Chain A
């Protein structure tokens, strides 16, 4: 039985991400980190593989920058890492990603569960998991805050899903694709031993030919990146006694339709 987690490297959350003069997205020389939402997916992959007596694999789709996230994953304790890279994926969108991701899942022996973080902090489309499930024809369970039970023999999974309005417990069929919330676990830190193992690991790279698929066609096209327009902030000091200041403030808030 195999569990597969998808991850990617993203700019550090503290990095200043902007569009440079050439229209490219840049974050200077700031380091990349494993997509913070994926850390919960990776932790859950390790736990579920251990509980089920299986193997946890991690896959990233994209260029060499994603090796950082894969090595981080190995250092946390995942059993193997794979990177999918192909020139034909350079201009890919979520649908093309899902086409490659689903083919990669099929190439891993006996995959029963695929785990994604809730979203990625860079592109944030929140579509990759759903499209991958659709391409695989597997059950899709989103916003999972707890995996209550997995029965590989019966082929069922019972999870708690989290919504703004409350929680929902669902039992569904395996194989399944799930997205996980941060409430699901407390991700471990890479240990020294894990780091040492990870740094020595050779990460195989699969091409689309290795996956046995032709170049997926992107349905969306990125025309340009633009910086957000600068916000104009005006500061006005309100004079007078506290009661008077409060009255003027409320009037202004009503005037601006804030209240």
Chain B
């Protein structure tokens, strides 16, 4: 648990000149290529991910963690931290979510455990931004309780025949391939599941419905159906029956990037709220003159800073190659804390904006809707608490 001294010192400021240059580049990209279009994409309830990812791929944004031989940057974790933090400036959480699903949720298991052939066909085009990916785990009867999934992939010679459905799939209406968790042997426990790459042009695959959501409107979400979808066994990632474990590994970075972006976005909202409260007058004085408002905002900034440092601790542990259970413990804390903090920031800041904040044209109203997801997606708060309790040995004696 104790960090080596060098890492502890670096935590104070883990970013080098190279990271800061990268931050400027991502910030400029978000400012010019995303923000001007976000309102239109929110209205359309979808963003043109093929177009957007192609631009990001050309700049090397989509393979930060992955080996150079697959077109990645082989960069340290702090570049991913910078990327997640800067995407939070998009003006809508749907765009960071769609992007981070592609870079850090649908592709890590493929990069780590996939065959060379699979990486060439699916990882490399994803890193170049020529293919859009999605992670397909949740089902109508299995969300946080991943072990209950029912989608089956049955062996038929050198193929799997897939039947079942997946729900709430981000990027689901425009993905070129899915990283699908399916049951490859009978049963209802953690054993017997595999991760399989499913190209979405395979016969039998259907986008049954584009789903309407409370928030994150600029990101498309789908209900997907599989009817006798035939894919080669060689599309399986790693060993048969190891899908659950690969997915659990994959979840850790997903949770961390969610928390990183969440904290960065929350800080922007609080700082905007401070500026608004300095301008807005009520009862002959600016709102910020109220000590109640000052103290609430000061408290939120304190929580934000503390959570950011927790996130950085998690990133440092990943970079140091600490064991998976320890990373899981801290990543779960990061997501739990970030999700709750985002809800508090959304509610408190909206209150200070008053009626204006309730108007659709004010950014806080979008944030209020978008912020709610972090406590649900990628494992609900209650699942995070369960993981933390288990890893802290809170079992009954």
Contacts and interface: CB of A to CB of B under 8 A. Distances in A.
Counting contact residues on chain B (CB < 8 A from A), the size range is: 10 to 19
26 contacts: A31-B24, A71-B17, A72-B21, A72-B24, A75-B21, A75-B25, A189-B25, A189-B29, A189-B59, A190-B25, A191-B25, A191-B58, A192-B25, A192-B59, A192-B60, A192-B61, A192-B73, A192-B79, A195-B18, A195-B21, A195-B22, A196-B18, A196-B73, A199-B16, A199-B18, A199-B21
Contacts of B28: 189
B320 interface: no
Nearest to B68: A193
Contacts of B109: none
Interface string A31-75: 101000000000000000000000000000000000000011001
Contacts of A192: 22, 25, 59-61, 64, 73, 75, 79
Given A190-B24, A192-B64, A199-B21, 7 more contacts: A71-B21, A72-B21, A189-B25, A189-B28, A189-B29, A192-B61, A196-B73
A198 interface: yes
A31 B21 CA distance: 11
A195 B58 CA distance: 13
Interface of A is mostly: helix
Nearest to A75: B21
Nearest to A195: B21
Residue with the greatest number of chain A CB neighbours at <10 A, chosen from B22, B25, B79: B25
A191 B17 contact: no
Interface of B: 16-18, 21-22, 24-25, 28-29, 58-61, 64, 73, 75, 79
A195 B23 CA distance: 10
A229 to B, nearest CB: 22
A195 B64 CA distance: 13
Interface residues of A, number: 14
B171 to A, nearest CB: 22
A188 to B, nearest CB: 8
B126 to A, nearest CB: 16
B199 to A, nearest CB: 28
A72 B25 CA distance: 9
A190 B60 CA distance: 10
A191 B58 CA distance: 8
Contact of A198 (B16, B21, B58, B79): B21
A179 to B, nearest CB: 23
Nearest to A193: B60
A75 B25 CA distance: 10
Contacts of B24: 31, 33, 72, 190
Interface in A171-225: 189-193, 195-196, 198-199
A210 to B, nearest CB: 25
A84 B383 CA distance: 59
Contacts of B21: 71-72, 75, 190, 195, 198-199
Nearest to A198: B21
B18 A191 contact: no
A199 B17 contact: yes
Nearest to B21: A195
B55 to A, nearest CB: 9
Contacts of B60: 191-193
Contacts of B17: 71, 199
Nearest to B56: A189
A237 B79 CA distance: 52
A240 B19 CA distance: 59
Nearest to A31: B24
A185 to B, nearest CB: 14
Interface string A3-38: 000000000000000000000000000010100000
B152 to A, nearest CB: 40
Residue with the greatest number of chain B CB neighbours at <10 A, chosen from A33, A193, A199: A199
Contacts of A33: 24
Nearest to A76: B25
A247 B300 CA distance: 49
Interface string A146-181: 000000000000000000000000000000000000
A71 B16 CA distance: 14
Contacts of B25: 75, 189-192, 195
Contacts of B73: 192-193, 196
Residue with the greatest number of chain B CB neighbours at <10 A, chosen from A71, A75, A189, A191: A189
For the complex of A and B, list the 4 residue pairs with the smallest distance between their C-beta atoms, beginning with the closest: A192-B60, A199-B18, A190-B25, A191-B59
Residue with the greatest number of chain A CB neighbours at <10 A, chosen from B28, B58, B61: B28
B129 to A, nearest CB: 12
A189 B31 CA distance: 11
B371 to A, nearest CB: 25
Contacts of B79: 192
A8 B17 CA distance: 18
Contacts of A72: 21, 24
Contacts of B64: 192
Contacts of B22: 192, 195
Contacts of B29: 189
A191 B62 CA distance: 11
